[in-house]
Amino acid sequence: MTLSALLTTFANNLLPILLIGGAGFLIGKTLVVDPRTLGRVVFYLFSPLLVFNLLLNSKLNLHTAILTMGFTAAVIAVMGILSFLLGKLFQLERPLLLAVILTASFGNTGNYGLPLVKLAFGDEALAYASLYFVTTTILFNTVGVVIASLGRMDLKSALLGLFKVPTVYGVLLAALLNVMDVNLSAPLRSAVEIAANGSIPVMLVLLGLELARVEWSHSFRALGLSAFIRLVAAPVVGLLLATPFGLSGAAKQGTVIQTSMPAAVATTVLASEYRLEPPLVTAIVFAGTILSPFTLTPLLVYLGSP
């Protein structure tokens, strides 16, 4: 793994993403833009259509899809347990511990992960990355909500919240059409493809807009612990679990990159909603995103090598 390979990989795969995200960050700092409105557009339109289009055109069978989703759940479970144990070892207070568990368990697999996989490894790996993203979304809207709510919301309410996640319907509809071997009409397919192709840059701009609202925190021990778990420990866990789950080639590339994303921006929403150390959570998201090229670049080189 030479310095030249690292610099080339960074320039070709990460720098374009950082430039677009940076443009969104500058817009958020200089103009009055509501990222929540754009986030809702991504949540209800672009993200579901992107996943729907990918799965509709992919060659993933049911067995492969189940393995990928099982891998995702296993990685998130391991990260949650690991962050709990390390948080206890570092004697973090309960709110700080829960914030670390939340941010260490759920990475930014949408706004950051999907564009990176698309750019680095193409559509085949992106199909697996999309399943990882969908599974993360489901668990985030159930387990993540329970963690953030500190017992203020019961599991039934969290599960019912899944019916408000459009991406889930995109997965189910794509699976149904694939099983029934139904082809979309040319105008409808073109509309879906146009929206899907536009979703990646919109996601990156949204990432920059959301990072522009960052608050800072003086809980440096918790911040450093969460960033370490997400950026260093998570890729190792992903690589170790890929083999027993039978993931290789494009499947391994797409899923392991997703395991290595910095903390999800959506964790800041839950932190604010349930008053779970919002300054700490936003600082973790910001710091992890800024530091992520240093860990993602060598991982991209490793996964891309024959």
Q: Where are the domains of the chain?
A: 12-304
pLDDT at 29: 87
Q: Quick check: 306 pLDDT over 70?
A: no
pLDDT of the residue at 154 = 58
Rounded to the nearest 10 degrees, how much is the dihedral formed by the CA atoms of 153, 158, 159, 162? 160
Separation of CA 285 from chain center: 12
Average pLDDT over residues 15-23: 87
Inter-residue contact 122 to 58 (CB < 8 Å): no
Provide the Cα torsion 268, 104, 209, 294; round to 10°: 160
Structural contact between residues 199 and 266, judged by C-beta atoms closer than 8 angstroms: no
Task: Using pLDDT thresholds of 50, 70 and 90, give the confidence band for residue 158.
Answer: low
**What does the alpha-carbon distance between residue 8 and residue 164 come to, in Å, rounded to a whole number?**
41
200 pLDDT higher than 80? no
pLDDT value of position 216: 67
Q: What is the pLDDT of residues 215-235, one digit of tens each?
A: 666 788 899 999 999 999 999
pLDDT computed for residue 217 by the predictor: 63
Given a cut of 50, whether residue 151 has pLDDT beyond it is: no
Q: Yes or no: say if 33 and 27 are a contact pair by the CB < 8 Å rule.
A: yes
Mean pLDDT in residue range 101-105: 92
Res. 13: pLDDT tops 70: yes
The CATH number, out of the four listed (1.20.1530.20, 3.40.50.150, 3.40.50.300, 3.20.20.70), of the domain defined by the range 12-304: 1.20.1530.20
pLDDT, tens digit, for every residue of 165-185? 777 788 788 878 877 878 888
Q: Is the pLDDT of residue 164 over 80?
A: no
For the whole prediction, is pTM greater than 0.75?
A: yes
For residue 39, which amino acid is it? G
pLDDT band at 252 (very low <50, low <70, confident <90, very high): very high
